[in-house]
Amino acid sequence: MTSFLLHADDLLRGGPWAMRPDRPRRVLLHLFAFVVLFGVFYGAVMGSFGGVAGRRALQPVYSGLKVPLLLLVTFGLSLPSFFVLNTILGVRSDFRYVLRGLIATQAALTIVLAALAPVTAFWYASSADYESALMFNALMFLVASVAAQFLLRRWYRPLVEHGTGRRWSSVPAPGLPGYDGRLMAVAGSAGGELWAVGSASRSAGPQRVLILHRCASSPSW
């Protein structure tokens, strides 16, 4: 349980583990678990308006199930059109990294929602107006969505553009395993040799200097 919460904390800090190329299945399982568990938690609190006695006893259960279903179903419905758009723009090869970043964003959204659940409960205890409760929950979703968008920008930062012929696609910047790499400058020669410098960091630990070199005869850094 402690490890699970530490991963959630690291995700909110924009930790690079969500975008690591190794162990993608394990990372995705963690992300989906965040969406389900934290989404159910906030949904249960959201459904507690007006009390949970009598006929409303099951309302927190229904509301708890609705939040992760809402996020996952809308995500699944919009994914095909997003995939087609990536294909049209010629960046289909980077879609697996974009997909993981989007799922991590959904997970971060539910974690923020769960953190706001006590605020929602306090609002329910302070007001008995149903319309106000609806508007307040909409505000909580807005706050969580904005926070998740800031995190999405951080996860996109390690992606660098590279070209093959006339096509460009995004790949994670090479660097130290478990670190978030960021390139600051790139220089090249007429012979095809490239040098890049930047930094590599993670949520815990010192920042590392990142120096990359690519020869004309090798496609990798």
Q: Which two tokens stand for residue 126?
A: 């302070």
In a domain, 87, yes or no: yes
Looking at the structure, tell me whether residues 49 and 26 fall in a common domain.
yes
116 and 42 Cβ atoms separated by less than 8 Å: yes
In a domain, 25, yes or no: yes
Looking at the structure, tell me whether residues 108 and 199 fall in a common domain.
no
In a domain, 168, yes or no: no
Looking at the structure, tell me whether residues 64 and 135 fall in a common domain.
yes
Query: Which residues are CB-contacts of 135 (< 8 A; sequence separation ≥ 6)?
Result: none
Looking at the structure, tell me whether residues 61 and 85 fall in a common domain.
yes
In a domain, 14, yes or no: yes
Looking at the structure, tell me whether residues 124 and 198 fall in a common domain.
no
Looking at the structure, tell me whether residues 96 and 137 fall in a common domain.
yes
Looking at the structure, tell me whether residues 111 and 140 fall in a common domain.
yes
> DSSP of 158-169, one letter per residue?
TEEEEEETTEEE
Please give the Cα distance from 180 to 200 (Å, whole number): 5
Looking at the structure, tell me whether residues 50 and 9 fall in a common domain.
yes
Compute the half-sphere exposure of residue 44: CA atoms within 13 Å on the CB side of its CA. Answer: 10
Domain limits at 151? 2-158
Q: Which two tokens stand for residue 104?
A: 């991590």
Looking at the structure, tell me whether residues 7 and 35 fall in a common domain.
yes
Strand 194-201, strand 208-214: pairing: antiparallel
147 and 138 Cβ atoms separated by less than 8 Å: no
Looking at the structure, tell me whether residues 134 and 180 fall in a common domain.
no
Please give the Cα distance from 203 to 198 (Å, whole number): 17
Looking at the structure, tell me whether residues 152 and 177 fall in a common domain.
no
In a domain, 166, yes or no: no
In a domain, 167, yes or no: no
pLDDT tens for the chain, 221 residues long, are 677 888 888 888 776 666 665 667 788 888 899 999 999 999 999 999 888 777 778 889 999 999 999 999 998 998 888 888 777 766 677 677 778 888 889 999 999 999 999 999 999 988 889 899 999 999 999 999 999 988 887 766 655 555 455 555 555 555 555 666 666 777 777 666 777 777 777 666 667 777 777 776 665 55
Number of folded domains that form the chain: 2
Please give the Cα distance from 219 to 221 (Å, whole number): 7
The radius of gyration of the chain from alpha carbons, rounded to an integer in Å, stands at 21
Q: Which two tokens stand for residue 48?
A: 């507690």
In a domain, 85, yes or no: yes
Quote the pTM value: 0.70
In a domain, 186, yes or no: yes
Other Cβ atoms within 10 Å of 112 Cβ, number: 21
Please give the Cα distance from 19 to 96 (Å, whole number): 10
Looking at the structure, tell me whether residues 72 and 124 fall in a common domain.
yes
